[in-house]
Amino acid sequence: MANKEIPYKIYLTEEEMPRQWYNIRADMKNKPAPLRNPGTHEVMGFEDLRPVFCDELVKQELDNDTPYFDIPEDILNFYKMYRPSPLVRAYELEKKLDTPAHIYYKFEGNNTSGSHKLNSAIAQAFYAKHQGLKGVTTETGAGQWGTALSMACAYLGLDLKVFMVKCSYEQKPFRREVMRTYGASVTPSPSMETEVGKAMNAKFPNSNGSLGTAISEAVEVAVKTPGYRYVLGSVLNQVLLHQSVIGLETKIALDKYGVKPDIIIGCAGGGSNLGGLIAPFMGEKLRGEADYRIIAVEPASCPSLTRGRFAYDFADTGMVCPLAKMYTLGSGFMPSPNHAGGLRYHGMSPILSQLYHDGYMEATSAVQTDVFAAAEDFLRCEGILPAPESSHAIYAAIQEAKKCKETGEAKNILFGLTGTGYFDLYAYKAFNDGTMTDYVPSDEDLEVGFATLPKMD
Amino acid sequence: MANKEIPYKIYLTEEEMPRQWYNIRADMKNKPAPLRNPGTHEVMGFEDLRPVFCDELVKQELDNDTPYFDIPEDILNFYKMYRPSPLVRAYELEKKLDTPAHIYYKFEGNNTSGSHKLNSAIAQAFYAKHQGLKGVTTETGAGQWGTALSMACAYLGLDLKVFMVKCSYEQKPFRREVMRTYGASVTPSPSMETEVGKAMNAKFPNSNGSLGTAISEAVEVAVKTPGYRYVLGSVLNQVLLHQSVIGLETKIALDKYGVKPDIIIGCAGGGSNLGGLIAPFMGEKLRGEADYRIIAVEPASCPSLTRGRFAYDFADTGMVCPLAKMYTLGSGFMPSPNHAGGLRYHGMSPILSQLYHDGYMEATSAVQTDVFAAAEDFLRCEGILPAPESSHAIYAAIQEAKKCKETGEAKNILFGLTGTGYFDLYAYKAFNDGTMTDYVPSDEDLEVGFATLPKMD
């Protein structure tokens, strides 16, 4: 229970901000499985990954032992422009639900990119700049990651080439335009600029594109262009390391007020937000110092944790990226076209996959009409227009708060509000108009994806 | 000079937040001229204004003497959901400009409506609710005000009917959709739901609409519908009263660090942001306690302060609203269609008009390509994507900082960053593509508007 009055929003001072990232792998008994070469299936080391990622990030990717990494001063200064992010006590939502639960959310949307993605974007861009590189390449789907990275690259004077999934490129002209305004070059994927893109265009002349193909294109350009490397906004160990700043700030803020969360909830696509939010709490759990219920919420239409397989898989469609062992639906899994938000990647962070496999967290899924209904409940009392991705966590938090009402328990529920929905208003319109539909893949649908899993020894 | 190190962002604690609004009229020797009946030209009092505005707001509108008004507890609680807003030290912009000036901006865009408009929206909605009304009506142009009001009305469970200028309704579907998501009804103006709208549609069958017509429609519905009143997002004295929270927070934050601004800059359309930002500083100036250079920045395409006349004028096209004495271009003035942002109202707050007339502040104007260039300089180093409106202040602040570089003076420059530009990306696209043009009305163009001024005794 709280020992002093909790304000609506808890902001840390700059002095209280974390100065190190926390590497959860250091406390995991079962480490995430190593990346493997997609052709030979050999474990990949520093030299194997250097052509793709910049050196410092490869080190972070491979380091399963160092518990804390200093955040470089330049990154700290950038963080100070939009962090600390507020930890909000959802008084109005509690009132609306008439629940004895205390609900908190860490709001990562108060920056122009509109999401938590910026936490890793600036880190990855910084290390690239620091290595003397000219630029970086990446892919973006819904556009949060591309926007975040374009902000970071503009700040550091680094070139950026974004491959944007073609249907998003066409349906989200505003996202594209924000990236251009920050000076990034944005190309619809599949493009005619890469071998992967040309092959895809030849095979499927009217392809809408996919994240998997856009990744392949970005990696190809990075590897072939001198002075360039590839950067990725989720899934990787390095990304979870950078995103730990979310959880570290949250824990400092809660500790100030003597609040211990009973339940921690995050939406999960590739796992960047969830992995970041839970990091220090999971660390305590792994070390046996405290216990928390930790819940991943994913779309019922793309259920990698709840219905996927824990296996080595391709990270991309072009099969140029390392293989990762993760909960996956198979790189050939195609999310339903009616799926509105992000969270549509076929796999899940190897770290989170291992933790889930070892029983340290739960997972649940939700259909999108339920998710948008929760978003609307939330925005009408808490004010913030949430991203569809974030709204999965809202949905689950509301479910838990309603259970507390039934049992009369004043549990502390913490969830991650990863971002805002300004660029998702077509989806809100569909929900407002009553034309939004749900999709839950049948077991047969899932088999199509599983059939694309690599055959491993 | 500062007496301790200034963080990137200064946030007040909830305890430090202002609990009263400041009424600048109390310190004005020359009070703003009273509102007058558009037909009879008689001064309007409490009973005359009650059919249009709710009672408490009429009192605030007419009170030229009470210096402070308590902020009701419910409004304070709503403020706590998105305020205090950060006062940001623009370290990165200073570096980029290589200026000895210290630049600060008060950022009001960290809420879903994306601007400072919410400060008055919640106040006006609260008083309407408190009076037991069923709903309110309003107009919106660029959409900031309508969005803010829809958030406030959703929170309080108050009906809202928004008349949205038709060209914005069609060009800004996202703005419209946010309002709908908050539960507001949005009608393109001119509509067929009012006498004013029908007349306008008959006269100009393909009208794009105007703010003046939308105001007339909203007032007509409010007056004719039992349990409804009209609310307005700018120009009025009550709005400047509510917006004083911007300046009060700013002053508390600066005082904490011993910083006294030398120059205070705000963009100016109807005056709601500028009037709020400068309020406590102007108060000190009026009382002879301190001096500040205060600069209003307006679009060269809609130059009410710099090229308008100080005269009684109609507030709306339908001439159903009270007459106000203000700097105005005439209610018949038509902003150029190539004008991208807001700040397109023909008149200016009577309070600010009087202060400007009495020499307490300066005014300047800027063409939009210069404004967007300043916005781009700003966003690439400070991260935030600014609204076109706010970017007028950025432009002027950069000009002043450059002068400091020439003279070597370490002046403290404060400006208001009123909001974000997420819904203005068509304008950014035009700027990025090099297709944006400028418009400065000729003297003859202005005469067309002046010809519509009422003939007063």
- A274-292 burial by CB neighbour count: b if 16+ within 10 A, else e? bbbbbbbbbbebbeeeeeb
pLDDT score recorded for residue B4: 65
B439-456, pLDDT tens digit by residue?
999 999 999 999 999 998
**Do A223 and A289 belong together in one domain?**
no
pLDDT at B226 over 60: yes
**Contact residues, chain B, for A8 at CB < 8 Å:** 14, 77, 80-81
**Do B151 and B280 belong together in one domain?**
no
pLDDT score recorded for residue B2: 43
Cα–Cα–Cα angle for B221, B227, B230, nearest 5°? Answer: 45
**Residue of chain A nearest B11, judged by CA positions:** A11
Cα–Cα–Cα angle for A319, A323, A326, nearest 5°? Answer: 125
B241-266, pLDDT tens digit by residue?
999 999 999 999 999 999 999 999 99
Q: Rounded mean pLDDT of chain B?
A: 94
Q: Does B163 fall in a domain?
A: yes
Beta carbons of A81 and B8 less than 8 Å apart: yes
**Do A189 and A292 belong together in one domain?**
no
Domain stops at, among B230, B263, B288: B230
How far is B222 from B12, CA to CA, in rounded Å?
38
B262-309, pLDDT tens digit by residue?
999 999 999 999 999 999 999 999 999 999 999 999 999 999 999 999
Q: Does B78 fall in a domain?
A: no
Beta carbons of A180 and B81 less than 8 Å apart: no
Among A153-157, A440-444, A453-457, B381-385, whose mean pLDDT is lowest?
A453-457
Contact A366, A297 (CB under 8 A): yes
pLDDT at A125 over 80: yes
Confidence of residue A393 (pLDDT cuts 50, 70, 90): very high
pLDDT at A173 over 90: no
Domain stops at, among A190, A209, A230: A230
Confidence of residue A4 (pLDDT cuts 50, 70, 90): low
pLDDT score recorded for residue A457: 67
**Residue of chain A nearest B12, judged by CA positions:** A11
Interface test with A, best of B73, B103, B111, B425 (most A CBs within 10 A): B425
Domain stops at, among B230, B261, B295: B230
**Do B438 and B389 belong together in one domain?**
yes
Percent of chain A with pLDDT over 70: 99
> In three state form, how does the secondary structure of chain A look?
CCCCCCCCEECCCHHHCCCEEECHHHHCCCCCCCCECCCCCCECCHHHHCCCCCHHHHHHHHCCCCCEEECCHHHHHHHHHHCCCCEEECHHHHHHHCCCCEEEEEECCCCCCCECCHHHHHHHHHHHHHCCCCEEEEEECCCHHHHHHHHHHHHHCCEEEEEEEHHHHHHCHHHHHHHHHCCCEEEEECCCCCHHHHHHHHHCCCCCCCHHHHHHHHHHHHHHCCCEEECCCCCCHHHHHHHHHHHHHHHHHHHHCCCCCCEEEEECCCCHHHHHHHHHHHHHHHCCCCCCEEEEEEECCCCHHHHCEEEEEECCCCCCCCEEEEEECCCCCCCCCCCCCCCCCCECCHHHHHHHHCCCCEEEEECHHHHHHHHHHHHHHHCCCECHHHHHHHHHHHHHHHHHHHHCCCCEEEEEECEECCCCHHHHHHHHHCCCCCCCCCHHHHHHHHCCCCCCC
The ipTM estimated for the assembled molecules is 0.90
pLDDT score recorded for residue A3: 47
Percent of chain B with pLDDT over 90: 87
**Do A182 and A202 belong together in one domain?**
yes
Q: Does B440 fall in a domain?
A: yes
**Do B312 and B426 belong together in one domain?**
yes
B14-31, pLDDT tens digit by residue?
999 999 999 999 999 999
A66-76, pLDDT tens digit by residue?
999 999 999 99
- For residue B280, what are the domain limits? 3-19+83-114+238-450
Q: Does B456 fall in a domain?
A: no
pLDDT score recorded for residue A16: 97
Q: Does B335 fall in a domain?
A: yes
Distance between B369 CA and the closest CA of chain A, angstroms: 14
Burial of B30 (0-12, 13-18, 19+ CB in 10 A): exposed
pLDDT score recorded for residue A2: 43
* Structural domains of chain A, count: 2
pLDDT score recorded for residue A1: 41
Which of A7, A88, A422 faces B422 most closely, judged by CB atoms? A422
**Do B284 and B334 belong together in one domain?**
yes
B171-196, pLDDT tens digit by residue?
888 899 999 999 999 999 999 999 99
Mean pLDDT throughout B331-335? Answer: 84
CATH number, domain containing residue B181: 3.40.50.1100
Q: Rounded mean pLDDT of chain A?
A: 94
What are the residues of chain B with a beta carbon less than 8 Å away from any beta carbon of chain A? 7-9, 11, 13-14, 77, 80-82, 88, 91-92, 110-112, 114, 151, 154-155, 173-174, 177-178, 180-183, 376, 379-385, 420, 422-423, 425, 428-429, 432
**Do B308 and B178 belong together in one domain?**
no
Distance between A79 CA and the closest CA of chain B, angstroms: 10
A36-88, pLDDT tens digit by residue?
999 999 999 999 999 999 999 999 999 999 999 999 999 999 999 999 999 99
**Do B224 and B244 belong together in one domain?**
no
Q: Does A199 fall in a domain?
A: yes
pLDDT score recorded for residue A318: 81
Tell me which range, A272-276, B142-146, B421-425, is most confidently predicted by mean pLDDT: A272-276
Q: Does B185 fall in a domain?
A: yes
Q: Does B439 fall in a domain?
A: yes
**Do A444 and A424 belong together in one domain?**
yes
Beta carbons of A182 and B379 less than 8 Å apart: yes
pLDDT score recorded for residue A168: 86
A205-226, pLDDT tens digit by residue?
888 888 888 999 999 999 999 9
Which of B177, B379, B420 faces A432 most closely, judged by CB atoms? B177
Interface test with A, best of B5, B79, B89, B112 (most A CBs within 10 A): B112
Which of B151, B181, B383 faces A112 most closely, judged by CB atoms? B383
**Do B279 and B406 belong together in one domain?**
yes
Percent of chain B with pLDDT over 70: 99
**Do B30 and B59 belong together in one domain?**
yes
pLDDT score recorded for residue A441: 95
A260-290, pLDDT tens digit by residue?
999 999 999 999 999 999 999 999 999 999 9
Mean pLDDT throughout A220-243? Answer: 96
Mean pLDDT throughout B405-423? Answer: 96
